[in-house]
Amino acid sequence: MLFGNVKLSIEYCKTDISIAHPAYFSTPPCIVLQLTLQIAWRYIAQYKGTIATIVKLAVAATAMSVAFMIISVSIVGGFNKAIQEKLFGFSGHVHVSYFDVNKGAGLTEAPITLNKTLIDSIKRLPHVVNIHAFAERPVIVANKGKMEGVHLKGVDAQFKLPSAYGVKGIGINYTDTTYAKEIILSQTTARLLEVNLHDTVLIEFFENNGLPRLRRVKVAGIFHTGMDEVDKYYAITDIRLLQHINHWNADSINGYQIAVDDNKYAPYISDYIHYKLIQAPLESYTTVENYPNIFDWLKMQDINSLIILIIMAVVSIVNMGVVVLILMVDRASMIGLFTVMGMESKTLTGIFVGMAGFIAGVGILIGNIIGLGFCYAQQQWGLIKLPEETYYMRYAPIAVDPLAVIGINIVTLLLCMLCVLLPALYIKQLTPAKALNFK
């Protein structure tokens, strides 16, 4: 038979043709599809020599493109997730504080009064996870002649640093009836001061008259975020200590920090608080607005990832287009024979689309194994190390997004199959007489 062992039984089609119009007695579409796929698979499977090598190279190129796309998207997603977790874990997503045009000009910012009604109203907002009151003041931490300036952040017992900070020590003990005489330093500050857990350091609070007030506190914890914006400039203590030093009462604070379940809701929550829940002199702003340099850097990583995706997609398209064109030239005599036998050009094109689909499918499968395998290895063993002072972490983070991986697979497969349409013009221009002369 012309088509070898290709089965053309009408049972493959679920169409009842007994009452169909006479024009419907041509080959049903479902059988045409099965025919083209079987022919495509037959010729892909029997290739040997140079053509087989070209097919293998096409599979390898597709696999590497898919693997690079998966790894790129996962690394960029990992950067976004890791950095946001670290920053939001310390500062929250939204801040409410006193608006002061001379902010930062004095040693302490103007306090606001703790408003439990406002706290309850914010807690009831959708996507709000928690809200913490805080106080801040610039201080100097000293030990054995070494001094470091930090922003001392006072928090209550409900505030917890994320596990990603790798906190060492038991943290601040809030059981003291006045205030806890303890501090949590960053690893950077602790190293510069040459102090360890349970050591005692001196805190110098400078007053407007230039005279310092001194307090000795114990190092109750050491954290590390890898972000200079936090590690170099912040330390944590009991909020009651700052209230005592500032001569404030128990309801005096510098502001509230609010955590939400997804940062995309932070601008809407901030705007709602600003226009509906608070009045001047209070202001509401997001952490993204407070640290624009970090989030601009993350946006740049998204652009880099997009460029890589586009380059890899173009590589896949060009690679598949060239390979299919070579296969068409190699099977020119087959094209002529099928044309003489009455096969339509769209059906012939379908055969090569099927070939491209098989090649792309195998390449995508291998690419997924390589890409996801590398992501797993990076998560487990940290194969790629990074300069922490530049990238805020020691190892390249990985966050595999299943939807992104599925999208990469589908788009790559569709592009590889659509790229056949241009070489398919070769079929329409090839006459049976010329085709049958190919050797």
Provide, rounded to the nearest whole percent, the portion of the chain with pLDDT above 70. Answer: 79
* Res 376 pLDDT > 70: yes
DSSP annotation of 2 reads T
Higher pLDDT, 96 or 320: 96
Instruction: Please report how many Cα atoms fall inside a 13 Å half-sphere around the Cα of residue 341, on the Cβ side.
Output: 13
**Element spanning 258, H or E:** strand 255-260
Q: Where are the beta strands (DSSP E) in 122-253?
A: 128-143, 146-155, 182-186, 200-206, 212-223, 234-238, 252-253
**Is the separation of the CB atoms in 216 and 181 below 8 Å?**
yes
DSSP lists the bridge partners of residue 154 as 135, 237
DSSP lists the bridge partners of residue 218 as 182, 200
The predicted pLDDT at position 430 comes to 59
Q: Which two tokens stand for residue 409?
A: 């697979």
Q: Look at residues 210, 209, 186 and name the one whose alpha carbon lies nearest to residue 201.
A: 186
Tens digits of residue pLDDT in 305-337: 888 888 888 888 888 878 877 777 776 667 666
In angstroms, the CA 338 to CA 2 distance is: 9
Tens digits of residue pLDDT in 52-68: 788 888 889 899 999 99
Peptide bond between residue 281 and the one before it cis (omega within 30 degrees of 0): yes
Decide: helix, strand or coil at residue 41: helix
Give the pLDDT band of residue 33 (cuts 50, 70, 90): low
Tens digits of residue pLDDT in 253-299: 999 999 999 999 999 999 999 999 999 889 999 999 988 888 888 88
Instruction: Please report how many Cα atoms fall inside a 13 Å half-sphere around the Cα of residue 143, on the Cβ side.
Output: 18
Report the first-to-last Cα separation within the chain, whole angstroms.
22
The predicted pLDDT at position 323 comes to 81
Give the pLDDT band of residue 348 (cuts 50, 70, 90): confident
Over residues 190-197, the mean pLDDT reads 94
The predicted pLDDT at position 12 comes to 36
Gyration radius from the chain CA atoms: 33
Cβ density class 4-40: b for 16+ within 10 Å, e for less: eeeeeeeeebeeeeeeeeeeeeeebeebbebbbbbbb
The predicted pLDDT at position 418 comes to 78
* Res 7 pLDDT > 50: no
Over residues 200-222, the mean pLDDT reads 87
**Is the separation of the CB atoms in 182 and 172 below 8 Å?**
yes
Computed over every residue of the chain, the mean pLDDT equals: 82
Q: Cα–Cα distances in Å, from 77 out to 264, 295, 299, 386?
A: 15, 13, 11, 16
Beta strand pairing status for 146-155 and 234-238? parallel
* Res 40 pLDDT > 70: no
The predicted pLDDT at position 363 comes to 92
Q: Look at residues 202, 170, 168 and name the one whose alpha carbon lies nearest to residue 186.
A: 168
